Amino acid sequence: MLLEAAAAVLFLAFFFYHTPAAALFLSPLAVPLMKRRAGKLESRKKAEMSTQFKEAVSSVLMALRAGYSAENAFREACREMEFLFGGDSGICRELYRIDRGLDNHIPLEKLLQEFADRCGVDEILEFAEVFSIAKRSGGNMSEILARTISMIQSRIDVEAEIRVMLSEKVLEQRIMNAVPFLIIFYISASSKGFFNVLYGNLTGVLVMSACLAVYLFAFGLSERIMAIRI
């Protein structure tokens, strides 16, 4: 992330000011760029975990209805998720922790709460809370979890549909973000020296700084528009 942010800052410095020295002035931009990249990675990780968790809780529910205890249902789900996603997947690593915790006689509800806290996924947090309440109340575990899992799965499915619907708009956003650079590259290549007046003088620096500020504002606005949460 640091290398990507540094490359972006150097590109902006050369593009808007035609000197790498401007990177020192633009270096504070590396912080939000790194945060943005980290946020994208975190969102992708959470979306992947949500999808895998949906399959895991479906397996747990089937095992409960087949007569397994809650603890054995999660052990069974672990084996199924290993077959579906591989042992290195995020859901399998978490289910392995639950399995080891059960071997050490740690209560399942506590293990699920720790799992939810580590992942920070809303659906897993809700499931852990409902499971803990159902465990304490001694009600019909299968029925309570079935309703909870149905709602969680519906939300995850809607989120997946929204991501698919937005994929085209995300591509359009990326193209529009690149258009100003492509236009200036084209004009610079076809008309040598056309933009020379904007470089190497105070007026040009002020004009290009204003252009950079407007571009960064538009870029940030487009990111916020596309960041849809349920």
- Residue 63 confidence (pLDDT) above 80: yes
pLDDT score of 230: 54
Residue 225: C-alpha distances to residues 104, 166, 218 (Å): 47, 11, 10
Task: Identify the top-confidence range among 97-101, 144-148, 203-207.
Answer: 97-101
Q: 77 pLDDT band (50/70/90 cuts)?
A: confident
Residues 164-173 pLDDT 10s: 877 888 888 8
Q: 229 pLDDT band (50/70/90 cuts)?
A: low
The Cα–Cα gap between 61 and 223 comes to: 38
Average pLDDT over the chain, rounded to whole? 84
Among the ranges given (98-107, 127-136, 172-181), the one the predictor scored with the smallest mean pLDDT = 127-136
Query: Do 176 and 92 form a contact (C-beta atoms < 8 A)?
Result: no
Amino acid at 180: P
Burial status of residue 124 (CB atoms within 10 A of its CB: 0-12, 13-18, 19 or more): buried
Over range 99-108, report the average pLDDT.
88
Over range 109-119, report the average pLDDT.
88
Task: Identify the top-confidence range among 16-30, 139-153, 216-230.
Answer: 16-30
Over range 65-73, report the average pLDDT.
83
- Residue 210 confidence (pLDDT) above 60: yes
pLDDT score of 205: 84
At CB < 8 A and 24+ separation, what contacts does 78-87 make?
A: 80/55, 80/56, 81/52, 81/55, 81/56, 84/55, 85/52, 85/55
For the chain, the DSSP string reads: -HHHHHHHHHHHHHHHHS-TTHHHHHGGGHHHHHHHHHHHHHHHHHHHHHHHHHHHHHHHHHHHHTT--HHHHHHHHHHHHHHHH-TTSHHHHHHHHHHHHHHTT--HHHHHHHHHHHH--HHHHHHHHHHHHHHHHT--HHHHHHHHHHHHHHHHHHHHHHHHHHHHHHHHHHHHHHHHHHHHHHHHHHSTTTTGGGSSSHHHHHHHHHHHHHHHHHHHHHHHHH----
- Residue 223 confidence (pLDDT) above 70: yes
Q: Which of 72, 73, 77, 120 is nearest to 95 (CA)?
A: 77
Residues 130-169 pLDDT 10s: 888 877 776 666 777 777 777 777 777 787 788 787 788 8
pLDDT score of 19: 80
Q: Which of 41, 40, 44, 56 is nearest to 124 (CA)?
A: 56
- Residue 226 confidence (pLDDT) above 80: no
The residues, ordered by sequence, that sit 6+ positions from 217 with a Cβ below 8 Å of its Cβ are none
pLDDT score of 228: 66
pLDDT score of 53: 87
- Residue 94 confidence (pLDDT) above 80: yes
pLDDT score of 89: 87
Cα R_g (the chain), whole angstroms: 25
The Cα–Cα gap between 60 and 52 comes to: 13
